Amino acid sequence: MNYGFLIDNRKCIGCHACTTACKAENQVPLGVNRTWVKYTEKGIFPNTRRYFQVTRCNHCANPPCVHICPVQAMYQRKDGIVEFDPNLCIGCKACLQACPYDAIYIDPESHTAAKCHFCAHRTEVGLEPACVSVCPEHAIIAGDLEDANSEIAQFVASQPVRVRKPEQGTMPRLFYIEGEEVSLTPTLARQDSGMLWATLPENGHGEWRGPIQIGDGNMAGALLHSAAAPRETYNVPHKIPWHWQVPAYLVTKAIGAGMFIVAASALALGLAPETPWFTSIAAFLSLVFIGLTTLLLVLDLTHPERFFSIVLRPQWKSWLARGAFVLIGFTAVGGLVFLGYAAAQLGIFPAGAQFANALILPGIVLAILAAIYTAFLFAQANGRDLWQSALLPWHLFVQAIMAGTGALLVLVPFTAFVPPVYADAPATIWLAWTFAASLVVNLFLTVMGEFYIPHATQVAAAAAHIIMHGKYKTQYWFSIIGGLVVPIALVVLFPTAPFALALAGILAIAGLFAYEYAFVMAPQQVPNN
């Protein structure tokens, strides 16, 4: 058994009966929708035409929302229905990022993820979904795609049908007869701030996904210059799932992981003295920033009290769950390294330094995993094409080295006041040039690797354009000039000046946050419906 939907666009009259029936049947709150009708228009008056498209969860055969969910709240039934359990959802909003169709939302009442679930409570007793029953034109057909005698299977076999975004590899089970290209592909239709019977919410604070502004025009205007450019005239708005907490988490994680990698590697290679600055203090500060990382992750949940369910019932395909265990493992090993060095320095456990040194290699491995695992989490976010970059693990690693050395350099001037902690001149110079090298590599990856190579999809290209020339251009160019070019100049001009190096470290970390903010926010501005 494999349930699916078929929308016959030859019959749909855009009456919204399916939307209201869905709301009534499933008690969907105001402001959110499980199914809705999108309007697009083409042509120049009087030769115009309006197209209707019923939009909802695609109940994919390969559902990315299921794979990314860290606690098995989103799951796929044996009959193909993609279902969710609100009692398990922690509100991480990862499933919203994974869905390429904007079909999932956070319920404003339960604060959990929600979406179309094929009216499973009706299907299980032999009834059709509410939207199917109420459609006056029989434009919505639901049934078992594996039953050759079912109406939907016969239509799919006999009619040319289309699905949305087949390139995502999700294998949607929502088919369209005479699906219109400008409706199926959101970036092809002009998006104005005013629509039929509706006004989109204000987008000034980045809370809602609204018209995509690029320079003086909008996204579709930048792509289609003809007066006959297709126009979207009715749709539903969607809230942006992730905000400043995610870029902040990326920065604190980079500092924590990078500081451990740099300090531990310097000790292992004999490039730094075995003083508290590079042993217990570096390990302690690394733990502090990893702790801040965890705190940011928890605070961003809509159900933070359920956070421990990631540990108690993890869904192992999810890199959000895997990342949680990486952070736990790194915290445990980093904590033992700190305790070993601290105990030796306090004379409590003289062999503590040897014990800590034995843990340096596994600590470095876990720190590297902590630095880069977010790249694999972003790769599971099928709804954000710009995040699907093969360079991202390397970029996050380099950013960690940059942030870790930058943070150590920020505190170097203060070590002069505590002689036992002192970072000697050779070690400081090594840190400075390691920092400079990471800045140069990061500059290359940021400018050339992520943005100036051809993008695989139009959606990724649109997000990159928003970063470099649109809403987030200020953050992007500050990250390049203030966060990379100026720090490189400071290191080259003042390689032994502690306060100049500290300033370079501060600018680099500030620039990293600006870059991550643009990188996280811009792809969420591109609509998927």
Domain locations along the chain: 3-239, 245-525
Q: What is the pLDDT of residue 146?
A: 95
Round to whole Å and give the CA distance between 405 and 419: 21
Q: What is the pLDDT of residue 149?
A: 94
Residue 5, helix vs strand vs coil = strand
Round to whole Å and give the CA distance between 324 and 203: 32
Pick among 3.30.70.20, 3.20.80.10, 3.40.50.300, 3.20.20.210: CATH of 3-239: 3.30.70.20
Please give the residue that has the higher pLDDT: either 222 or 234: 234
Lowest model confidence (mean pLDDT) among 18-27, 43-52, 190-199 = 190-199
Residue 218, helix vs strand vs coil = strand
Round to whole Å and give the CA distance between 73 and 139: 31
Lowest model confidence (mean pLDDT) among 61-75, 134-148, 181-195, 318-332 = 181-195
The pTM is what?
0.92
* pLDDT classification of 421: cutoffs 50, 70, 90: low
Please give the residue that has the higher pLDDT: either 192 or 403: 403
Question: Cα angle vertex 19, ends 13, 21, to 5°?
Answer: 110
Q: Is the pLDDT of residue 212 over 60?
A: no
Round to whole Å and give the CA distance between 480 and 512: 9
Round to whole Å and give the CA distance between 4 and 143: 6
Can you tell me the mean pLDDT for 376-401? 95
Can you tell me the mean pLDDT for 487-492? 96
CB < 8 Å & 24+ apart, contacts of 76-81: 77/120, 78/1, 79/1, 79/2, 79/3, 79/123, 79/144, 80/1, 80/2, 80/3, 80/4, 80/145, 80/173, 81/3, 81/117, 81/118, 81/120, 81/123
Burial 46-61 (b: 16+ CB within 10 A, else e): eeeeebbbbbbbbbbb
Q: What is the pLDDT of residue 217?
A: 44
CB 407 within 8 A of CB 505: yes
Q: Is the pLDDT of residue 113 over 60?
A: yes
Q: What is the CATH number of domain 245-525?
A: 1.20.1630.10
CB 109 within 8 A of CB 148: no
Round to whole Å and give the CA distance between 123 and 3: 10
Round to whole Å and give the CA distance between 190 and 42: 10
User: Mind giving me the DSSP string for 37-84?
Assistant: EEEEEEEETTEEEEEEEEEE----SS-HHHHH-TTS-EEE-TTS-EEE
Given this chain, do its domains 3-239 and 245-525 carry the same CATH topology? no
Residue 231, helix vs strand vs coil = strand
Mean pLDDT of the chain: 90
Task: Using the Cα atoms of residue 65, residue 69, residue 74 and residue 76 in order, give the sign of their dihedral.
Answer: positive
Q: What is the pLDDT of residue 447?
A: 84
Backbone angles phi, psi at 35, to 5 degrees: -140, 145
Q: Is the pLDDT of residue 213 over 50?
A: no
Q: What is the pLDDT of residue 194?
A: 60
Lowest model confidence (mean pLDDT) among 9-23, 159-173, 221-235, 263-277 = 221-235
Q: What is the pLDDT of residue 193?
A: 56
Can you tell me the mean pLDDT for 97-114? 95
Q: What is the pLDDT of residue 199?
A: 65
Q: What is the pLDDT of residue 192?
A: 65
For 330-365, the pLDDT digits (tens) are 999 999 999 999 999 899 998 999 999 999 999 999
Please give the residue that has the higher pLDDT: either 422 or 504: 504
Beta bridge partners of 175: 6
Cα dihedral 434/435/441/444 (nearest 10)? -160
Q: What is the pLDDT of residue 276?
A: 86
Q: What is the pLDDT of residue 214?
A: 43
Round to whole Å and give the CA distance between 134 and 20: 9
Residue the block writes with tokens 């306090």: 346
Can you tell me the mean pLDDT for 385-389? 92
Lowest model confidence (mean pLDDT) among 247-261, 292-306, 374-388, 422-436 = 422-436
Q: Is the pLDDT of residue 326 over 70?
A: yes
